[in-house]
Chain A
């Protein structure tokens, strides 16, 4: 995956470039807003990671300009401003996701990988299938190996989000954001309990589990 990182903190940037490289991604770096905008509009990237406060040009204005040029590259905004209204302005400017500093690298990586997916057709699919587990978004039915599984509405949404991002790590905060639409950090393992219930419903009695816990990062559904 080809990523453009627009970030003025050189130390943070070099750490991110190295970590993304280890995760198998090619990362270009721009350390100010103007350069970043020039690179983003002239080259093709899978994901843009844009810091909000940048020298020479503000992160939000870069995104607005790109969107005005019909550039649909997914954008992850990084910011020290974490209040609800900051997030709303960030997303309104055309950002696709918003991550508040300081963050765990696993969180950033998971979000980048999920974002890159956005541009692929999976977003619009009406049905998902992973290793014999099938989810139909229209009839809201879930089956494993032809056997129907009854899920609560919230469990259905959890599973839907996981299957939409099958093979990708999904973090707890991503689940809380996308399934419950809350952006705070739960102090307890509130998400884990939901996941273990979901796991009991879809993996119980099956030899190969589909729902995996990724230590230190989150969850993943895969074959």
Chain B
């Protein structure tokens, strides 16, 4: 499933390798220290001990004569331990000692020597010539001629010491090897685990890239950093799916809302070309064609404007602006038209409200809200249609409100009408692109605010809530 090269590329394996390297360096240093301790310090201590004993024997020999020396050597030689004692007469003949087969030169010439030798096993009957009862030793000795003419050899058996050092080295090697093996296994296991989790993430993304947008990265119960990553990825995917869904809806709607008028346009043009049409019909058909194409252009412009507002125009498009004047101007622009339609525009506009905004877009948004109120107003006996346009500052917010007493929008449809091209059934027959409120919402978003639709009982209240 995972190639070696891939494994090596993973961070975990590399980290493990680095730690292993550090560990090995540390181990070598430690080993060096121990070997220094055992191969230099220990022998030095033993040499010192030998030297002290030689001095002591010399003193005994000087002060008390050769008999005392023989007794002293005999006593020490009888004790168990690594001590080697050998006392010979001036001709080299053994007097007392716990070793027998010393090399001749040790006895012949004073000095320090190291050599292999055989010595009887402790607590055994010293049948020295029986090799079964002997064991090999390695001696480190000092040979000295005493004042009395006796030849003294004092030394230590260092086989045990050497064995100890060897055991230390051996176990050390085993330990280091074991740890290396363990960390290698641990590193590979961790890497494989990490790789497996990452692999699930990449395979999920691959599935998503190939078009299956509803795939999600599995989240385990461990709640670790991979789960945090997976959760975030999933949130991002949700957002992308929403956007894609939105895109799809828009495309579907564009297909419907732009293709329908385009078809009408084409039909009209065809009918104008048909044989046997009189001049008047032909002219009418052409005029309708122009009207239809104008409507299409308007829809198109509205779409572009929304797209631009949603994309966030460059900051240069926003500038310090007298919002009070904008609201008052638009209300005034529509006053006469409303009156002609049997409605009245009432204004309640706070003076001197300035914001950082885009005059053209805010004006267009307000126009859309007022035109909506005018469009859906149904004249009724004994009721005056009213559109109330107000601008208020509330703390650090600025609110533009357009409220009417028309039919309003049912609560359940209010968020839906903000989507592009959504037109409620009752408005299908009315002219319009279904983009009016979407544009208002986009303009509000561009200014860092939002569009809210409330009930003004009866009627609709549209609130453009902007940061002041």
Interface, chain A (partner B; CB < 8 A):
82-85, 102, 104, 154, 180, 182-190, 193-194, 197
Contacts and interface: CB of A to CB of B under 8 A. Distances in A.
Given A85-B314, A189-B337, 11 more contacts: A82-B304, A84-B317, A104-B290, A180-B329, A182-B360, A185-B301, A186-B367, A187-B367, A188-B374, A193-B336, A194-B336
A166 B332 CA distance: 25
B364 interface: yes
Nearest to A89: B316
14 contacts: A82-B304, A83-B313, A85-B317, A102-B293, A102-B297, A154-B332, A182-B367, A185-B301, A186-B367, A187-B371, A188-B337, A188-B374, A189-B337, A193-B340
A184 B363 contact: yes
A104 B297 CA distance: 11
A197 B363 CA distance: 23
Contact of B361 (A84, A154, A186): A84
A40 B385 CA distance: 56
A107 to B, nearest CB: 11
A83 B303 CA distance: 12
B334 A190 contact: yes
B429 to A, nearest CB: 16
B336 A197 contact: yes
B358 A84 contact: yes
Contact of B371 (A83, A154, A188, A194): A188
B457 interface: no
B259 interface: no
Interface of A (DSSP majority class): loop
B364 A184 contact: yes
A187 B317 contact: no
Contact of A193 (B337, B358, B431): B337
A183 B298 contact: no
A160 B304 CA distance: 34
Given A85-B316, A185-B298, A190 B304 contact: no
Contacts of B336: 193-194, 197
Interface in B302-349: 304-305, 308, 313-314, 316-317, 329, 332-334, 336-337, 339-340
Main secondary structure of the interface of B (DSSP, over half): helix
B337 A187 contact: no
Contacts of A183: 360
Nearest to A182: B363
Contacts of B329: 180
Nearest to A195: B336
B432 interface: yes
Given A193-B340, A194-B336, A184 B360 contact: yes
A208 B371 CA distance: 35
Nearest to B287: A216
Contacts of A193: 336-337, 339-340
Which of A104, A189, A193 gathers most chain B CB within 10 Å? A193
A84 B316 CA distance: 10
Contacts of B363: 182, 184
Nearest to B336: A193
Contacts of B308: 83
A154 B325 CA distance: 13
Contacts of A104: 290, 294
A185 B313 CA distance: 20
B114 to A, nearest CB: 98
Nearest 4 Cβ contacts at the A-B interface? A193-B336, A84-B360, A193-B337, A190-B337
Contacts of B293: 102
A105 to B, nearest CB: 10
B274 to A, nearest CB: 24
Nearest to B329: A180
B424 to A, nearest CB: 18
Contacts of A189: 337
A152 to B, nearest CB: 9
A189 B338 CA distance: 11
A213 to B, nearest CB: 16
Contacts of B317: 83-85
A84 B359 CA distance: 9
Contacts of A187: 298, 367, 371, 431-432
Contacts of A182: 333, 360, 363-364, 367
Interface in B179-234: none
